[in-house]
Chain A
Amino acid sequence: MSGADDKGRAHRGLVFKLLLFVAGSFAFGFALVPLYDVLCSITGLGNQKSLTRAVAQGTEAVNRTRTVTIDFMTNLPTVGNWEFRPVTKSLQVHPGQLYEADFFAHNLTGHDTTAQAVPDIVPSKAAAWFHKTECFCFSPQSFKRGEQRVMPVRFFVDADIPAYVDHLTLAYTFYDVPNRGGNTG
């Protein structure tokens, strides 16, 4: 009996240590979040400055000597029944300044549904200098049956955009997302 007791004590001691180990691992998973930043700042890896540069430029340096023409277009795929068109057809913008353009969508599918807009920028090489800060294309859009609404996209053109790019087209295609019908809440 005392042998069984000894064994029980040994088991409990080890189980306790292992549970501490498990709790430590769980905490370590969360500690990785700040540790990651600490490691980057100590070693200088992963330069945060260059990652935030684009946004900073947008608010600081507006180039009023240049204008770039942005045309807005819409496409509908062959499936799905929508009215979808740009409210703003075209804008003359100064690089570095924030603008907003609106798009209109009307659900003609006859039921509640969800759709996803997919953007396309022409010429595609210029996409690197076109920054959207807020867009209806960032998340699926839920529509009640027959619902219509205007949706905004906010953007700025990078001040560094090469001089030979003076005309951009932003086009959206509006897709019905299958199997999302019940998830409109």
Chain B
Amino acid sequence: MANTEHAAAAHDDHDHKPHGFWGRWLTTTNHKDIGTLYLVFSCVMFFLGGSFAMAIRAELFKPGLQFLDPALFNTLTTMHALIMIFGAVMPAFVGLANWLIPMQIGAPDMALPRMNNFSFWILPFAFTLLLATLFVPGGGPAGGWTMYPPLVLQTGSALPLMIFAIHLMGASSIMGSINVIVTIMNLRAPGMTLLRMPLFVWTWLITAYLLIAVMPVLAGAVTMLLTDHFFGTSFFNAAGGGDPVMFQHIFWFFGHPEVYIMILPAFGIVSEIIPTFSRKPLFGYDAMVYATASIAFLSFIVWAHHMFTVGMPLASELFFMLSTMLIAIPTGVKVFNWSTTMWKGSLSFEPPMLWAIAFLFLFSIGGFSGLMLAIAPADFQYQDTYFVVAHFHYVLVPGAVFAIMGAVYYWLPKWTGHMYDMKLAKWHFWLSTIFVNVLFFPQHFLGLAGMPRRIPDYATQFADWNMVSSIGGFGFGLSQLLFPLLIWQCVRGGAKATDRVWEGAHGLEWELPSPAPYHSWTEAPSLAVLEHGAPSHDTHG
């Protein structure tokens, strides 16, 4: 019964124009509307988390305590991480998935449109709850986003609010992932076999499985914190027979796959952009799919490399060191395949390609510092220093964030029907790329020299590179203001975009008009539409 009602409701949507601003955005079940909501939300969170980062860099501009007391500083580092991970990067990828997956696989919409609406609208509530912690007695969570007990259990009234916020974010991601999986498994156009899917769809399918495998584990871990604090359990309380190190094992069993949740869709995006602007099909499509799957598998057996210094036996240190290094192989396959796709290609350097190439170089730097951190004996030196901060910011900012920027510049004309200001977009790119390196590269030096992370003050020998890093931070932060400006201009008007937008673009989404109609592929397309160009994702051809 519910099902026929559902079908009827879907038909209603066809007939009715969206009714009013709130009626449209609050109740929408359209994948494009929900994709837009996710992306706008992510952009707001990116600037909020970014403003926290600006405050952190202002405090670290010179030694001594200038603007923030240490407790507030710790709150800002914790909140910056939680907002950027769960508020900016993950919703941006879900937004892109909503916009693109149905258009790329020839589906009329996501498979579960109402759940889609629900999974988005949970997020503003989750983040209201999280941000409300800044104003409760005891201050916001300040024990780091990793929430290690027993320190995190000393959080004031913020603790249950933070935990419930994380539960809500987890529920949202799980629903989003279920939707992505059902859409991809059940709604592909006839002939769109799994190994003909665009790589963005592939990487998202694998990411969605990672999400439903590990988000519930995080929910379990924070639930254990909650019961330890309020209901007298002793999961992590040594006095009651528990073990605080246990939390780290459970947390990182979630945490390491989470790292790949934030990078696999970025791999997918780059695998779409580079072939387009190289005017060549992607080199080694099958290898890319298998490499993605291998990375996802390996992500489950490497978690303890985040905790080399907790006092593990030598055998475990060796196992986690070697399994971690193994990840370099499928990642290397990807980097070489992207490079080979560009080799002897007819390259042009439109903004999306610039972001993709910057991703290739700068993400690789983050990968290499990751390999250094994987060496267990060396990690005892790097642990909890700015070297770690430099490493994960290199993979997340010029990695994940640059890929998201590239994706927006790549598909924006398809979404709005207008071309954006190419000159301004290139300014945005070059300012970001230069300043991101000024911001994060010196942090390698600081870390190797021994500067600890999550500290509001530091010894004077670290002063110079911190000042350079802060200048880079302010430059990077300010240059991001161009991004919403560009998008706003592009939504409002601009040169009319062609349907294909980029001459080298291949894939079902480029067969739709620009802007993409509110309802697309209401009839499943025949893949023959792709045949009159060189097949973009088929190396067998």
Contacts and interface: CB of A to CB of B under 8 A. Distances in A.
B217 interface: yes
A15 B219 contact: no
A1 B8 CA distance: 10
- Top 3 closest pairs, chain A to chain B, by CB: A29-B220, A182-B137, A8-B3
Interface string A124-159: 000000000000000110000000000000000000
B216 A22 contact: yes
Interface stretch (A30-38, A68-76, A166-174): A30-38
Contacts of A180: 138, 156
A169 B185 CA distance: 68
A65 interface: no
A10 interface: yes
Nearest to B178: A18
B435 interface: no
Given A29-B221, A178-B71, A11 B112 contact: yes
Interface of B is mostly: helix
A183 B137 contact: yes
B178 A8 contact: no
Given A21-B213, A26-B219, A179-B71, A33 B186 contact: no
B312 A46 contact: yes
A4 B109 CA distance: 13
A78 interface: no
A18 B221 contact: no
Given A5-B3, A179-B71, A183-B156, A22 B212 contact: yes
A25 to B, nearest CB: 4
A7 B186 contact: yes
Contacts of A32: 217, 246, 249-250, 253
Residue in A15, A23, A139 whose Cβ sees the most chain B Cβ within 10 Å: A15
Given A10-B186, A183-B156, A45 B138 contact: no
5 contacts: A5-B3, A5-B4, A8-B6, A9-B3, A46-B316
A19 interface: yes
A11 B220 contact: no
Given A5-B3, A22-B216, A29-B254, 14 more contacts: A8-B6, A14-B182, A21-B213, A22-B215, A25-B213, A25-B217, A26-B217, A28-B216, A29-B218, A32-B217, A43-B315, A47-B313, A180-B156, A183-B157
Nearest to A43: B315
Nearest to A7: B186
Given A18-B212, A32-B249, A140-B154, A45 B178 contact: no
Q: How large is the interface on B (under 10, 10 to 19, 20 to 34, 35 or more residues)?
A: 35 or more
A79 B254 CA distance: 42
A11 B186 contact: yes
Contacts of A29: 216-221, 250, 253-254
A30 B139 CA distance: 30
A27 B187 CA distance: 30
B139 A179 contact: yes
A12 interface: yes
B512 to A, nearest CB: 22
B376 interface: no
Contacts of B85: none
B531 interface: no
Contacts of B182: 11, 14-15, 18
A108 to B, nearest CB: 22
B220 A30 contact: yes
A79 B212 CA distance: 50
A58 B356 CA distance: 61
A47 B311 CA distance: 11
Contact of A4 (B7, B137, B212, B220): B7
B212 A8 contact: no
A11 B178 contact: no
